[in-house]
Amino acid sequence: MSKYLLDLTNEFSGLRALVTGGSRGIGAAAAQRLIDGGAKVVVTARNSHEETPAGAIFVAGDARTKEGAAAVGHAALQALNGGIDILVNSVGAARLHASLEAIPDDEWIDSLNINFLATLRVTAAVLPALKQSKHGAIVNVSAGGLIPFAGAMAHYGAAKAALNNYSQGLAKELAPLGVRVNIVTPGPIYTPGGDEVRKQITTAMGITDQQFMSTVPLQGRGGKSEELAEVIAFLVSDRSSYVTGHNHFVTGGWGELA
């Protein structure tokens, strides 16, 4: 067989992974892709859903608090027999408000907890074990952290900006140990959470979802979770062994910085 023909069936065989926010959407697709590649995968979220991969070990937990994140990390490591090679942080949520001034203080705090601090805390909980891996890789899913959102989602964008900065700092710190850290920024993707937020946006704009998606340069369509999952799989695989500290846009060319 030619060395240029890739057999990805068992590329993650023997590896152990944790996917946060893995019960549906991008997280579930990433978990399924890792399972398909032979990895043993733990997914965590507050609740499981129909999308939760059947081949994954589900750990219920709320990573929005320090105690909750520590419990998630502990339970995941127990399920993975004390070791971990891959961490995919896909946890996140967004709620729209009428304006920046209309965002209450507790919403700013909640957004920071779920969109930034949950990732920081879960990462901290499993990092000692991850440092022992010969295949250590982290991917943090972000969005809106580079281009300021309009006031309605300023709290979400601010939290993701913090996540981006943290991720790149972590990449530099862990590079000497061979642990790689990358960011994936999705564009308009069809997911349950994304669909709900986009519905609120399009309603406010007075346009249809199809009209919104027509602004995407690549075929005027939204992306699939599986398309994000394939990029995540590449970034945690040995195929990207010299890639760290970068923000990878999977947007179909949509957005100012795509």
The 10s digit of each residue's pLDDT in 173-230 is 999 999 999 999 998 888 888 888 888 788 878 899 889 888 899 888 989 999 999 9
Q: Which residue has the higher pLDDT, 212 or 171?
A: 171
4 part of the active site: no
Once rounded to an integer, what is the mean pLDDT over residues 127-148?
89
**pLDDT-above-70 percentage for the chain:** 93
pLDDT > 70? residue 68? yes
Res. 147 pLDDT band, cuts 50 70 90: low
Catalytic residue among 156, 166, 190, 242: 156
Question: pLDDT band at 7, cuts 50/70/90?
Answer: confident
Which tens digits make up the pLDDT trace of 153-166? 888 889 999 999 99
What pLDDT digit, counting tens, does each position of 98-118 carry?
788 889 999 999 999 999 999
pLDDT at 84 exceeding the cut of 60: yes
Residue with tokens 């081949």: 55
pLDDT of amino acid 3: 53
Structural domains of the chain sorted by starting position, each given as residue range(s) with its CATH number in brackets: 16-192+224-250 (3.40.50.720)
Question: What is the token pair recorded at 205?
Answer: 């704009």
pTM: 0.92
* Each residue's pLDDT tens digit, 15-32: 999 999 999 999 999 999
What pLDDT is recorded for position 105?
93
In this prediction, residue 201 carries a pLDDT of: 81
